[in-house]
């Protein structure tokens, strides 16, 4: 079974630098040449600390609130059919067999790493609800602000603001998984994720959402 791969998302200069969550390695204390003994001059490669991964952050969710913005699993096509109806999955673009397997693998990776998910929210679109249910990380709650605005961008700003406000109103610890669509995630993060990819965010000291990294189910 393939597990989720990991690729950290870089931050640009400016506001991104202030929001980035990066481990700080302590400076190495080296003896001066005047004080060094022959033994001191025998140099060996210093042990480098292991990089902090996105999984490491999620495993320490008792210290901070993390939000996993997950694009639904593989659902071939773009957008939805012209006869789309929210209450009828047969009129929508749905998960393929590969998508259903991918969603199960995502959930298995969270469980294998002991990630305790406090809440699972989903768009009302069938492909998002099915992704969330197949992940099997807890009860799934439909949350309309995560609905796609691919066909109607007039609600994009309002829905994006509603998601941001919801996150700020939560207790500052735990993991919330939000299963949604590419356009919604891009509006919140500037990242264009693939199917089954997630952008992980956290509240920084200023109460703003800061990018932690990218979880990639395709690797």
What is the model's pLDDT at position 204?
81
Helix (H) / strand (E) element for 158: namely: helix 156-168
Q: How far is CA 88 from CA 91, 170, 184, in A?
A: 6, 32, 22
CATH class, domain 5-19+51-216, is alpha beta
Distance CA 189, CA 200 (A): 9
Most confident of 33-47, 97-111, 198-212: 97-111
Distance CA 119, CA 7 (A): 24
| Band of residue 217 on the pLDDT scale cut at 50, 70, 90 | low
- Compute φ and ψ for 21, nearest 5 degrees: -105, 95
DSSP structural state of residue 26: P
Helix (H) / strand (E) element for 126: namely: helix 126-135
Contact 37, 58 (CB under 8 A): no
What is the model's pLDDT at position 48?
66
CA 126 to chain centre: 20
Distance CA 43, CA 41 (A): 6
Q: What is the crossing angle of helices 182-189 and 156-168, to 10°?
A: 70
Distance CA 67, CA 168 (A): 11
Sorted by where each begins, the domain ranges of the chain are: 5-19+51-216
Strand partners, 65: 174
Q: How far is CA 211 from CA 4, 18, 69, in A?
A: 18, 11, 11
Mind listing the pLDDT tens digit for each residue in 161-177?
A: 999 999 999 988 999 99
| Band of residue 142 on the pLDDT scale cut at 50, 70, 90 | very high
What is the model's pLDDT at position 131?
98
Mind listing the pLDDT tens digit for each residue in 14-28?
A: 444 444 444 333 333
Whether the pLDDT of residue 36 is over 70: the answer is no
Task: Give the mean pLDDT of 189-209.
Answer: 91
| Band of residue 144 on the pLDDT scale cut at 50, 70, 90 | very high
Residue 90 tokens read as: 């047969």
Q: How large a percentage of the chain has pLDDT more than 70?
A: 76
What is the model's pLDDT at position 105?
95
What is the model's pLDDT at position 45?
62
Predicted structure pTM score: 0.77
Interstrand relation of 5-7 and 209-216 (parallel, antiparallel or unpaired): antiparallel
Whether the pLDDT of residue 145 is over 70: the answer is yes
Strand partners, 177: 68, 120
């Amino acid at each position: 079974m393939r597990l989720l791969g990991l690729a950290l998302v870089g931050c640009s200069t400016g506001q991104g630098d202030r929001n980035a969550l990066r481990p700080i390695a302590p400076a190495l204390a080296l003896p001066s040449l005047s004080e060094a003994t022959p033994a001191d001059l025998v140099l060996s490669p210093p042990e480098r600390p292991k990089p902090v991964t996105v999984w490491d952050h999620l495993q320490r969710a008792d210290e901070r609130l993390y939000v996993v913005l997950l694009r639904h699993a593989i659902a071939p096509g773009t957008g939805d059919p012209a006869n789309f109806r929210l209450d009828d999955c047969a009129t929508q673009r749905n998960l393929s067999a590969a998508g259903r397997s991918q969603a199960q693998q995502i959930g298995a990776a969270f469980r294998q790493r002991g990630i305790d998910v406090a809440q699972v929210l989903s768009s009302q679109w069938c492909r998002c609800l099915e992704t969330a249910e197949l992940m099997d990380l807890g009860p799934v709650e439909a949350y309309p602000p995560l609905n796609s605005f691919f066909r109607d961008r007039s609600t994009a700003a309002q829905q994006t603001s509603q998601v941001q406000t919801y996150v700020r109103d939560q207790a500052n610890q735990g993991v919330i998984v939000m299963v949604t669509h590419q356009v919604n995630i891009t509006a919140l993060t500037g990242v264009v994720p693939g199917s089954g990819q997630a952008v992980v965010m956290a509240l920084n000291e200023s109460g703003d959402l800061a990018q932690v990294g990218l979880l990639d189910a395709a690797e």
